[in-house]
């Protein structure tokens, strides 16, 4: 079968780097989907819903490409934390996470319209923070401006010094659960025969 194009429906530089690590050839087309955090869904369903919506948005114009959508959220006390809109929200998020363990969930969706192929899954990781001082929070925000990150922190940058435990996939916290993704990707090749690929 002819090899088809793969499109990552995300402009996240972290997802681009992670997906590139396993040798998959892909292009990037950012979805125009805007998440509505007032949507009343459980966290697992929430991240899966928006991952699929992002994939669907790009798939409409690329029906013969395999589209990959992803959405990452932070969950604390059953409350979903997305990306902070400003400094005040960033401070509030980091203060709420200080000294506690929270869950990071990433939903991932595959859509290939012409093959009627459509699967979505999620991955969960638990992250424990040290207690953060006001200076810790302020200095981090000043330097890294983490407004594009769920929960207002990046596990791959200097904030790593404040993380004392991770249970689950590290890459999931970065925004893309690469191990689970690869298993699903190989399953899609084998079961649906939609890609001629050596992965």
CB atoms within 10 A of CB 81: 20
Check 5, 71, 148, 196 and give the catalytic one. 71
Contact between 159 and 149 (Cβ < 8 Å): no
Residue for token pair 């997305």: 82
Task: Extract the runs of DSSP E, i.e. beta strands, from 30-93.
Answer: 66-76, 79-81
Q: How many other CB atoms are found less than 10 A from the CB of residue 183?
A: 12
4: enclosing H helix or E strand: none
Residue 196 is a catalytic residue: no
Residue 63: other Cβ atoms inside 10 A:
12
What lies within 8 Å, CB to CB, of 100 at 6+ separation is 76, 128, 129
Beta partners for residue 165, in sequence order: 128
Among all residues, which ones are annotated catalytic?
A: 71
């Amino acid at each position: 079968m002819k090899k088809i194009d793969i499109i990552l429906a995300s402009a996240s530089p972290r997802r681009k780097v992670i997906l590139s690590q396993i040798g998959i050839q892909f292009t990037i087309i950012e979805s125009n989907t805007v998440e509505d955090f007032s949507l009343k869904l459980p966290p697992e369903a929430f991240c899966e819903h928006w991952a699929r919506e992002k994939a669907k948005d790009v798939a409409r114009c690329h029906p013969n490409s395999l589209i990959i959508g992803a959405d990452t959220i932070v969950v604390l006390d059953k409350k979903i934390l997305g990306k902070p809109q400003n400094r005040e929200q960033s401070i509030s998020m980091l203060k709420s996470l200080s000294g506690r363990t929270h869950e990071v969930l990433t939903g991932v969706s595959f859509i290939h319209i012409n093959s009627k192929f459509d699967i979505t899954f999620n991955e969960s990781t638990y992250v424990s923070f040290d207690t953060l001082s006001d200076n810790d929070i302020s200095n981090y925000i000043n330097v890294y401006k983490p407004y594009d990150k769920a929960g207002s922190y990046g596990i791959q940058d200097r904030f790593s010094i404040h993380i004392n435990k991770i249970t689950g996939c590290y890459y999931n916290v970065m925004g893309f659960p690469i191990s689970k993704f690869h298993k699903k990707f190989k399953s899609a090749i084998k079961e649906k025969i939609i890609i001629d690929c050596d992965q």
